[in-house]
A and B are shown apart, each in its own frame.
Chain A
Amino acid sequence: MAKRLFVKGNEAVAMAALEAGCRYYFGYPITPQSDIPEYLSRELPKLGGEFIQAESEIASINMLLGASAAGVRAMTSSSSPGISLKQEGISYMAGSELPGVIVNISRSGPGLGGIDASQADYFQSVKGGGHGGYHIIVLAPASIQEMYDLTMLAFDLADIYRMPAMVLADSVVGQMKEALVANRRPEVDLPAKDWAVRGIGDCEQRVVKSLYLGDGELEAHNWRLHAKYQQLKQKETRWEGFETGDARLLVTAFGSTARIVKTAIMMAREAGLKVGLLRPITLFPFPEKALSDATRLCKKVLDIELNTGQMVEDVRLAVARDAEVYFYGRPPGAGSLPTPEELFEQIKKYY
């Protein structure tokens, strides 16, 4: 029987990074994720790793760029406003095809906002928050176990596809404590990093860059990146179906909202309502096909988010043409986290 630990979400992310072989972390304090740099400042030196509390989130994403270019597994973490600062660096990493893990423990916005849980960074994360038209892998944990397992997955996917990967959580999952089984790092076939800079030695020069000025070069590069994202859609989509088999109303939700939705669904089932939950785990690649399949029979979808309506747009694009999509949102801020009863009322309203 595997040992169960009682761990805070943020620390589960940090533990998983170390288990995944990450020995380089660059970050900056911001509520509600400072536990991550604090944990790693303590543990990385014990493993001979490098921890830097950088001068800003901009500096830390660029340190990540450099370390990743040199071929090592490295990570940075922040929360919404700090993630805004990192967008240019992330665009450069995507354009230079660099792996690396960026953790966003979302807080309320826009601007300084607040520190309460939010899902209003969905657009920023999934639609390419920086310039130039790229995507990053986006994973949305809804439990401490997923904070751990999905962080390890983020490192593997980033290395396999040579692109940045984001763990998109929020202050609820970041700050709560739950049971965790600290799984060993999965055995995965990883490609060799034959593109990483190392000093030419007796070999050819390697350049990590995103500048392409030659005639036709950048267009070709962009199509190549696009093809990579199509591959991701084919192979790496992940989602959870909860009580979806006979559902007449399908709820879509991700992250901590999905936890509250599950309780509401259990209440609904007890009242005889056939309701299910389709919870995307990869927000990019989005589980389009799973939603399209589920709405062949179930024609009503209720999307619930901690924002004024973001993932709902992707839900609308994915469902069968004759499915109806409704939305219920609680934009973030103190006091705005919905109760299961409140969501049960919404389920009844649209059933």
Chain B
Amino acid sequence: MRIEDFLVPFALNLVPDFKARRYMQQVFKRPVSLKDVQTHFCPGCHHGTIHRLVAEAMDTLGVQRRTIGVASVGCSVFLYGYFDIDVVEAPHGRAAAVATGVKRAKPDSFVFTYQGDGDLAAIGTAEIIHAANRGEDITVVFVNNTTYGMTGGQMAPTTLVGQKTSTSPYGRNQSKDGAPIRMAELLAQLEGVAFSARVAVNSPKNLMDAKKQIRKAFQYQVEGKGFSFIEALSSCPTNWGLNPLKANARVGSEMCDYFKLGVIKNTENL
């Protein structure tokens, strides 16, 4: 039995005054769309928070029962273990193509992909650009932590210049490795993209804004208003070699300096 299961009724029973009892209500609980399980994420990883915001959006818009998620390859591969929805597992990089097939076959379902920076911005660039360009009626959640997490911290297309990773031990070299790619801006240039925004969850203010934008991205699909894209900056304490607090700080400083937060495109002004 969890503490919240007995705390509220217990508290209610302590209040002798009937009027006061009426004012007590539960204002915070696990989203219905999330399963009651422990996640595998590292301490300080932002996946857990982002998963939660996605689930809250699903709950608010009431789409859980008709949602089909497309899981990708990376730390988020176990999406099906955490969300109480139907899920299709896609090969590395191909989630946007798999989601296209799912949504075309089941246009009344709510379809989203959840991909990391290696999956979407390296091996999956063709698929994301073309799904976005075709304006597929799907929502893409892109979690950017400037590294390949699951495989042990290799350089990713979003790794910052000078950042040391297991395959850029001397630091990312712009002349040889190129500069990091800003996917939210890149995709916003395509006609088929209706909504593109970049968010972070490293502070309460950023988190509340992220919650709003993720819900907006989902709303685009619910209202049939086109392809929506959310880039969510995330920490990776394990592969950055930073403790959770310092990793969290890096998101707000270094990462936000290069990857600007905000709504880049919002064609329907939602």
Contacts and interface: CB of A to CB of B under 8 A. Distances in A.
Interface stretch (B13-21, B61-69, B225-233, B253-261): B61-69
A201 B101 CA distance: 20
A59 B89 contact: no
B97 A63 contact: yes
Interface in B83-125: 84-91, 94, 97-106, 109-110
A197 B98 CA distance: 12
A200 interface: yes
A69 B66 contact: no
A211 B77 contact: yes
A31 interface: no
B222 interface: no
Nearest to A100: B101
A59 B86 contact: no
A197 B127 CA distance: 22
Given A69-B88, A199-B66, A200-B84, A62 B101 contact: yes
A181 interface: no
A64 interface: yes
Contacts of B201: none
Interface stretch (A88-96, A142-150, A308-316, A327-335): A88-96
A211 B89 contact: yes
B101 A70 contact: yes
Given A67-B101, A199-B66, A201-B65, A206 B126 contact: no
B90 A65 contact: yes
A60 B90 CA distance: 13
B80 A209 contact: yes
B68 A70 contact: yes
A305 B67 CA distance: 49
A58 interface: yes
Given A199-B66, A205-B85, A52 B94 contact: no
Contacts of B110: 199
B184 interface: no
A206 B109 CA distance: 14
A47 to B, nearest CB: 14
Given A201-B65, A205-B80, A65 B86 contact: no
Nearest to A50: B104
Interface residues of B, number: 35
A197 B64 contact: no
Contacts of A206: 86
B84 A69 contact: no
Contact of B68 (A26, A50, A60, A198): A198
B130 interface: yes
Contacts of B80: 205, 207, 209
Interface string A145-169: 0000000000000000000000000
A70 B97 contact: no
A197 B91 contact: no
Given A54-B130, A211-B77, A96 B105 contact: no
B105 A89 contact: no
Nearest to A66: B101
A165 B97 CA distance: 20
Interface string B69-88: 01100000100100011111
Contacts of A66: 70, 88, 90, 97-103, 105
A62 B87 contact: no
A339 interface: no
Contacts of A322: none
A63 B89 CA distance: 12
Given A199-B86, A208-B87, A54 B97 contact: yes
A88 B77 CA distance: 17
Contacts of A69: 88, 98, 101-102
Contact of B105 (A24, A199, A201): A24
A72 to B, nearest CB: 4
Contacts of A345: none
A56 interface: yes
A200 B126 contact: no
A70 B102 contact: yes
Contacts of B100: 52, 63, 66
A66 to B, nearest CB: 3
Given A59-B130, A208-B89, A74 B94 contact: no
Given A24-B105, A66-B70, A208-B88, 19 more contacts: A24-B104, A52-B134, A55-B130, A58-B94, A58-B127, A59-B127, A62-B97, A62-B98, A64-B101, A65-B90, A66-B98, A69-B102, A197-B86, A198-B68, A198-B86, A199-B66, A205-B84, A207-B88, A207-B89
Q: Which 6 A/B pairs are nearest by Cβ-Cβ distance?
A: A66-B101, A199-B66, A209-B89, A62-B97, A63-B101, A197-B86
Interface of B: 64-68, 70-71, 77, 80, 84-91, 94, 97-106, 109-110, 126-127, 129-130, 134
8 contacts: A55-B127, A59-B94, A66-B100, A69-B88, A197-B86, A199-B106, A209-B87, A209-B88
